[in-house]
Amino acid sequence: MKDSLLEILVCPVCHGPLELRDVERIDKEINAGLLFCARCNYGYKIVEGIPNLLPPENKS
């Protein structure tokens, strides 16, 4: 995932800003980490460069 994507991503529940945490980079791109919403107190994982932004009630 490219850093520029962080500018447009928002929390799917409250539409608040997401904070990048525990980032792992490969070749200057985000490969793993967590996008955290302080308003909802919930984190969305980034796995193999793909953010999983499904709201908590939709995750299995």
* Residue 31 domain boundaries: 3-54
What domain count does the chain have? 1
Q: What is the pLDDT of residues 18-40, one digit of tens each?
A: 999 999 999 999 999 999 999 99
The DSSP element (H or E) to which 29 belongs, if any, is strand 29-37
- Residue 29, in any domain of the structure: yes
Structure tokens at 55: 């709201």
Q: CA-to-CA distance for 49 and 30, rounded, in angstroms?
A: 6
Show Cβ contacts of residue 32 under 8 Å, excluding neighbours closer than 6 positions: 22, 23, 24, 45, 46, 47, 48, 49
- Residue 60, in any domain of the structure: no
56: confidence class by pLDDT, cuts 50, 70, 90 = confident
Mean pLDDT calculated for residue range 53-59: 81
- Residue 59, in any domain of the structure: no
**Does pLDDT of 11 surpass 60?**
yes
Show Cβ contacts of residue 4 under 8 Å, excluding neighbours closer than 6 positions: none
**Does pLDDT of 60 surpass 60?**
no
Structure tokens at 47: 């796995």
- Residue 7, in any domain of the structure: yes
- Residue 20, in any domain of the structure: yes
- Residue 44, in any domain of the structure: yes
Mean pLDDT calculated for residue range 1-17: 95
What is the structure's pLDDT at 58? 66
